[in-house]
């Protein structure tokens, strides 16, 4: 009779185990589309069966087992970091690229062509008031467009700076989520699938924002460090980063700074993720155009060289060939005290009049200066920038921006495919297969039904035995 009762107890325990297994399957199905969720399975262990020793056999549950592959997770993190970099680079560089007309039919390239044409027309008729007025008008258009481009680049810089601040906020929020998951892990003392899903979803999102390394600790928590070793989360402690006060360089847009929890500058340590891409656009690409850090900026070089060259030619000559004729006036002005402010302050001399333009060169040639100015369109003998004509130098600026933007866009598209493939491989290992879960569900249901029938049979036998004893 004792063996019969032990068998009934074993069957009852088996029913409970099968019920747990069915619950796990149902939970897998319910969370099949939950971000970060990994398929779970119930460890089921056969119990020893020995009638002589009173061991009734059966099955016991020994906790949940996750299908998560941490090596696959790390690879996803790595690929997401690269994708985040290219995403922010592509977005920021596209905004810059849109400010340049590579066709040369509008903006500064067109303004340069118009100014050089007006210099040429003036050289043909150095005493023509109409030709002089055209020179001044075209110079004004060029100055306005240089200032406008500088202002637009500054606006892009402001937008990027704002995105950097927003990205830092998101990083800290995700780090807080990870810290809370660590706290919950220690409080529960065992892995919770829901907490695990929240943790890995946050790690995925964080990896796209900044380059991090994730270290799984023996106590079930994770440590998250940025690429330079600065911590974001260690156990139950979060270390918040911040976007520090921008470092201004004269009139140029400020360089962005990232500070660790102790206020140390860690900007140079951040190379990947959205934050790394944004820092590259702000501190490298934009700085190369409008200045920042140790760079004057190519647009400032262009504005200064053009103003100095044109003004130098005009001021070296006279307004006519008459004895005692007045020296020529400067056509352009800019703030010479700040190398990074040349483009933003580049303007037409507000006081110049047509009569103050000097076509006569120092040798008394009636249109010598005007011819020198006209030659600037195709020659560097009278001036230029870094051995290039002004037109070629500015085309190089636009070409540089276009190449950077195109490369970032191409990299983003290619990296998106890599991420998709990497996530697919990870999901094959740890994702929820509804087909597999359906098979498991049917198997556990059949096991439950069979055990229930066995328990019913054992109960009938027990009742019959009891009846026989009482009769």
Q: What is the pLDDT of residues 195-231, one digit of tens each?
A: 888 999 999 999 999 999 999 999 889 999 998 889 9
Residue 39 lies in a domain: yes
How many whole angstroms separate alpha carbon 467 and alpha carbon 471? 6
pLDDT at 458: 67
Residue 280 to residues 85, 86, 256, 272, 442, Cα–Cα distance (Å): 9, 10, 10, 10, 55
Answer yes or no: is pLDDT of 250 > 70. no
Give 284: exposed, middle or buried? Use CB within 10 Å, 0-12, 13-18, 19+: middle
pLDDT at 6: 66
Q: Is the domain of 244 the same as that of 181?
A: yes
Range 408-429 average pLDDT? 92
How many whole angstroms separate alpha carbon 272 and alpha carbon 226? 10
Q: Is the domain of 218 the same as that of 302?
A: no
Q: Is the domain of 288 the same as that of 299?
A: no
Interaxial angle between packed helices 70-97 and 193-209, expressed in degrees from 0 to 180 and rounded to the nearest 10 = 40
b/e sequence 391-409, b meaning 16+ C-beta within 10 Å: bebbbebbeebeebbeebb
pLDDT at 37: 75
- Give the number of other CB atoms < 10 A from CB of residue 449: 11
Of 6, 5, 1, nearest to 50 by C-alpha is 6
Sheet holding 212-216, edge to edge: 212-216, 222-226, 231-234, 237-238
Residues 274, 84 contacting (CB under 8 angstroms)? yes
Residue 433 lies in a domain: no
Answer yes or no: is pLDDT of 426 > 90. no
Answer yes or no: is pLDDT of 2 > 60. no
Of 371, 375, 357, nearest to 315 by C-alpha is 357
Q: Is the domain of 147 the same as that of 272?
A: no
Range 303-319 average pLDDT? 96
Of 33, 34, 58, 40, nearest to 48 by C-alpha is 58
Residue 52 lies in a domain: yes
Q: Is the domain of 93 the same as that of 219?
A: yes
How many whole angstroms separate alpha carbon 340 and alpha carbon 452? 84
Answer yes or no: is pLDDT of 248 > 60. no
pLDDT at 54: 60
The tally of domains found in the chain comes to: 3
Q: Is the domain of 355 the same as that of 454?
A: no
Answer yes or no: is pLDDT of 5 > 80. no
Question: Which range marks the domain in which residue 175 is found?
Answer: 73-99+163-293
**Tokens 């011819």 belong to residue:** 371
From 265, 293, 321, the end of a domain falls on 293
Of 361, 380, 359, nearest to 370 by C-alpha is 359
Residue 129 lies in a domain: yes
Residue 412 to residues 91, 170, 408, Cα–Cα distance (Å): 10, 21, 6
From 338, 371, 400, the end of a domain falls on 400
Answer yes or no: is pLDDT of 87 > 90. yes
Q: Is the domain of 24 the same as that of 88?
A: no
Q: Is the domain of 361 the same as that of 455?
A: no
Instruction: Label the pairing between strands 237-238 and 242-243.
Output: unpaired
Q: Is the domain of 49 the same as that of 121?
A: no
Q: How many CA atoms lie within 13 A of 229 on its CB side?
A: 1
- What is the chain's mean pLDDT, rounded? 87
pLDDT at 292: 78
pLDDT at 470: 67
How many whole angstroms separate alpha carbon 181 and alpha carbon 377? 65
Residue 428 lies in a domain: no
pLDDT band of residue 40 (cuts 50, 70, 90) is low
SS3 50: strand
Answer yes or no: is pLDDT of 45 > 90. no
Q: What is the pLDDT of residues 112-163, one digit of tens each?
A: 999 999 999 999 999 999 999 999 999 999 999 999 999 999 999 999 999 9
Residues 301, 264 contacting (CB under 8 angstroms)? no
pLDDT at 38: 72
Range 53-64 average pLDDT? 67
- Give the number of other CB atoms < 10 A from CB of residue 471: 5
Residue 245 lies in a domain: yes
What backbone phi and psi angles, to 5 degrees, belong to 340?
-90, 0
């Amino acid at each position: 009779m004792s063996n019969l009762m032990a068998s009934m107890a074993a069957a009852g325990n088996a029913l409970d185990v099968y019920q747990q297994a069915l619950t796990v399957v149902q939970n897998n199905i319910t969370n099949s589309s939950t971000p970060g969720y990994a398929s779970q399975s119930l460890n089921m262990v056969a119990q020893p069966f020995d009638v002589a020793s009173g061991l009734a056999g059966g099955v016991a549950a020994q906790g949940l087992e996750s299908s998560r592959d941490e090596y696959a997770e790390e690879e996803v993190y790595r690929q997401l970091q690269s994708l985040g970099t290219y995403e922010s680079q592509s977005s920021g560089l596209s905004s810059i690229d849109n400010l340049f007309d590579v066709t040369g039919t509008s903006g500064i390239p067109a303004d340069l062509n118009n100014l050089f044409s007006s210099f040429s027309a003036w050289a043909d008729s150095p005493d023509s008031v109409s030709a002089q007025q055209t020179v001044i008008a075209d110079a004004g258009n060029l100055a306005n467009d240089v200032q406008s481009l500088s202002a637009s680049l500054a606006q892009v810089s402001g937008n990027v700076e704002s995105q950097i601040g927003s990205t830092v906020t998101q990083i800290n929020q995700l780090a807080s989520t990870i810290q809370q998951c660590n706290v919950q892990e220690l409080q529960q003392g065992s892995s919770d699938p829901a907490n695990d899903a929240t943790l890995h979803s946050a790690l995925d999102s964080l990896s796209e924002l900044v380059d991090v390394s994730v270290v799984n600790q023996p106590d079930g928590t994770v440590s998250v460090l940025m690429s330079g070793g600065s911590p974001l989360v260690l156990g139950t402690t979060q270390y918040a980063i911040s976007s520090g006060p921008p470092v201004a360089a004269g009139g140029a847009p400020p360089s962005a700074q990232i500070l660790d929890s102790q206020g140390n500058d860690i900007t140079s340590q951040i190379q990947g993720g959205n934050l790394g891409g944004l820092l590259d656009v702000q501190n490298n690409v934009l700085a190369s155009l409008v200045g920042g850090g140790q760079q004057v900026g190519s647009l400032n070089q262009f504005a200064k060289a053009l103003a100095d060259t044109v003004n130098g030619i005009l001021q070296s000559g006279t307004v006519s060939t008459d004895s005692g004729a007045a020296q020529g006036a400067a056509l352009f002005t800019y703030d010479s005290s700040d190398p990074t402010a040349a483009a933003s302050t580049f303007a037409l001399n507000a006081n110049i009049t047509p009569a103050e333009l000097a076509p006569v060169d120092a040798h008394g040639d009636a249109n010598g200066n005007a011819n020198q100015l006209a030659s600037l369109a195709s020659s560097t003998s009278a001036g230029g920038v870094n051995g290039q004509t002004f037109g070629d130098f500015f085309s190089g600026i636009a070409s540089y921006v276009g190449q950077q933007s195109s490369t970032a866009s191409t990299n983003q598209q290619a990296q998106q495919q890599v991420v998709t493939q990497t996530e697919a491989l990870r999901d094959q290992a740890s994702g929820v297969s509804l087909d597999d879960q359906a098979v498991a569900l049917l198997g556990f249901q059949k096991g439950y039904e069979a055990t229930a029938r066995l328990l019913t049979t054992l109960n009938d036998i027990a009742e019959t035995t009891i009846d026989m004893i009482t009769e």
